[in-house]
Amino acid sequence: MTQMRNAEPRTGHVLGLSSPAAWLRIRRHATVLGLWIGIAVLLITGCRSPARGPRFDPRSKSTDSSSLFASSLTNRLDPNWLKPSIEPYRLGPGDRMDIEIIGSGDPSTSVLVGPDGRIYFHLLPALQVWGLTLEETAQLIERELVRYLRTPKIGITLREVESKRVWVLGRVNTPGIYPLSTPTTVLEAVTKAGGLFTSRFSGTTEELADLHHSFIVRRGAYLPVNFKRLLHEGDTSQNIYLQPDDFVYLPSALASEVHILGAVYLPRAIAFKDRVTLTSAIAGAGGLRPTARMREIVIIRGALSQPSYATVNLQAILQGKASEIVLQPRDIIYVPDKPLDPMRRMVSTILDAFVRTVAANEGLRAGGVQTKVGVGISVGQ
């Protein structure tokens, strides 16, 4: 039986998985991770699933990932995502505007929308403008001013937007949080962030972003935008319009890790070294929970917009009835605790959990917080 390599067991030494008793020892020594970080942008799921590629043989010695995909499969985007919103801008906390009483001869006044959504202008008491358009705000001020002025006319200019923003992080030149005051596409957002980061030391313009694993999260769900087709091939069918609180992430092409989700004690990303096996990766995630379904472990591989999948019987591996699985960088391993859903729904749910985890960790890191988040999910009936 193959010994684990590159595992990170909690006992501090290399553990073999040659018997069920050894596996139980890992389980007893594992610590349950109780840290959950909430990010408002990552709470609700419900967007369309990406196209699913064919099954692949995880024991194949081929390293050509392109052989795992059917060329006829494409990701599916909601056509409405390609249309700009026709809704007028609505004010929120942090927005700043210039308000002018037209014809009064007085200069315009800079007004900030407070955390409670109220503004203070002229002799008026606090006015609630949160959720109002600029036109509705002007009409509100005019109604209130009639007690002081005859037929006042108000002009408003939006100067700064803070209440509606998008995140653009990863291998771009100026990652950060950007205001969303006008309809903005993915390509425009990446351009605002300085474009893709390139090597400054190799003497080449090689891009350091992994476009196959770049993603957008909207209300906790993964949007299957194909960044490779958009940024390298100019495919505008992938250039969707962003919405407030969308999270755009372009990971480093130099990063090498596998992600473990589901019924393990420490859902996490594990650094990929010379050789990582399925059993060593699961041991590095603290081992299986008692409810884990060892015969139905799912491995997702390939571009996020066209993932391929395999189901593996870990119990057979531990009993010596099946050969070990050698993982590839960026594989996603999901350990279910219930019977699996139909495959398309299952893959979509796993990818949603994966991008929420990565987005939460990258958002925390951008805010200077070093704590990492792991997500345990349940996929099934």
Q: Give counts: helices (H), strands (E), the chain.
A: 7, 15
Average pLDDT over residues 292-318: 91
Spatial contact of 115 and 163, defined as CB atoms under 8 Å apart: no
Beta strands 247-250; 165-170: pairing state: parallel
Q: How far is CA 50 from the centre of its chain?
A: 14
Mean pLDDT of the chain, nearest integer: 79
What pLDDT, on the 0 to 100 scale, is given for residue 12? 35
CA 320, CA 18: separation in Å to the nearest integer? 8
Spatial contact of 248 and 362, defined as CB atoms under 8 Å apart: no
Q: For 20-73+256-366, CATH number?
A: 3.10.560.10
Spatial contact of 361 and 373, defined as CB atoms under 8 Å apart: yes
What pLDDT, on the 0 to 100 scale, is given for residue 75? 59
Domain(s) of CATH 3.10.560.10: residues in the chain: 20-73+256-366, 81-85+164-250
What pLDDT, on the 0 to 100 scale, is given for residue 308? 87
CA 314, CA 181: separation in Å to the nearest integer? 50
Q: How confident is the model at residue 342 (pLDDT cuts 50, 70, 90)?
A: confident
Please name the fold of domain 96-160. Answer: wza like fold (3.30.1950)
Please name the fold of domain 81-85+164-250. Answer: Outer membrane lipoprotein wza fold like (3.10.560)
Q: How confident is the model at residue 232 (pLDDT cuts 50, 70, 90)?
A: very high
Q: How far is CA 214 from the centre of its chain?
A: 9
Q: Phi/psi of residue 68, each to 5°?
A: -90, -10
